[in-house]
Structure 1
Amino acid sequence: MGMKDSNLDGKNDDMCEVFDAHEDAVNRVKERMPSEEEYLNLSEFFKIFSNPTRLKIISLLTVDDLCVCDICEALDLNQTTVSNQLRILRANNIVKYQKEGKMARYSLTDLHIEMIYKVGLEHILE
């Protein structure tokens, strides 16, 4: 156990010394817990945000809708790499595209995605 995990006096602050659960509090939180399937879906959703290239694409799309060429240029990546990541983002309902002639312009599916990205970034910058 590292210094982060315990006090200097050797006591572990995250241990309950009462040894008796607060039944009313436990029942309240259990009533609000998502189902096991919902936890699994949420876990899969957050995995999408675990790839730096996908995060970079999301960050660009928080500013403006862009075509693949724009994204490639902004990130200095090849089209295959960007297209593969966009495919994953599309399949997971993170981005959508609209055809404009031969061009597809990508955008975030909704404000929730932008909020998740911005709150995550804000958290790590604290």
Structure 2
Amino acid sequence: MKEIETCTCSIIHDDIVQKVIPSILNDDKASDLASFFKVFSDPTRIKILSALFISEMCVCDLAASLNMTHSAISHQLRTFKAAKLVKSRKEGKVVYYSLADTHIQQIFHQGYEHICED
């Protein structure tokens, strides 16, 4: 791992600081955004999302695809629903889950491209 270069002086560039301050997120927005990204921090949830990119699926299909229990899948889907990342629709006795919107896939793919860079 490369060592990070650090500044050895204590000069404050006031013009830059004053330009940046208005753009810094307030505490509420920063907390909301951090919570949003925490949803992506679990490998199981990443796998579920990648499956939902292909097709809407019910809990049984997700569990079979990922070799997991229904309970484990349901727990993760509750997390996604709370974060408004997935939506559901009922057809008879079956509940199908899909991505809430295209932003989720875009965020996922940008992150994936970033980790694949040399």
Give the TM-score normalised by the residue count of structure 2.
Answer: 0.89
What letter matches 1:73 in structure 2?
Answer: A
Task: Tell whether 2:6 aligns with 1:14.
Answer: yes
AA matched with 1:5: E
CA distance in 1, matches of 2:19, 2:54: 40
SS of match in other structure, 2:2: helix
Q: CA deviation at 1:14?
A: 2.8
Return 5+ residue gaps in structure 1 as ranges: 7-12
Q: Which residue of 1 aligns with 2:48?
A: 57
- Of 53, 60, 68, which residue of structure 2 is paired with 1:69? 60
CA distance in 1 between counterparts of 2:62 and 2:100 reads: 17
Unaligned runs of 5+ in 2: none
Superposition deviation, residue 21 in structure 1: 2.2
Give the C-alpha shift of residue 82 in structure 1: 0.5
Corresponding position of 1:44: 35
Matching of residue 82 in structure 1 with residue 73 in structure 2: yes
2:109 alignment counterpart: 118
Q: Deviations over 1:20-41 (max 9, x none)?
A: 2222221121111110111111
Partner Cα distance (2:92, 2:15) in 1: 60
TM-score by length of 1: 0.84
Task: Please state whether the residue corresponding to 1:24 is helix, strand or coil.
Answer: helix
Map of 1:20-35 to 2, 5 A cutoff?
Answer: 20-35=11-26
Deviating above 3 A after TM superposition, structure 1's stretches of 4 or more consecutive aligned residues are none
Match 1:5 to one of 3, 6, 11: 3
Q: What count of residue pairs does the alignment treat as equivalent?
A: 117
**One-letter amino acid matched to 1:92:** A
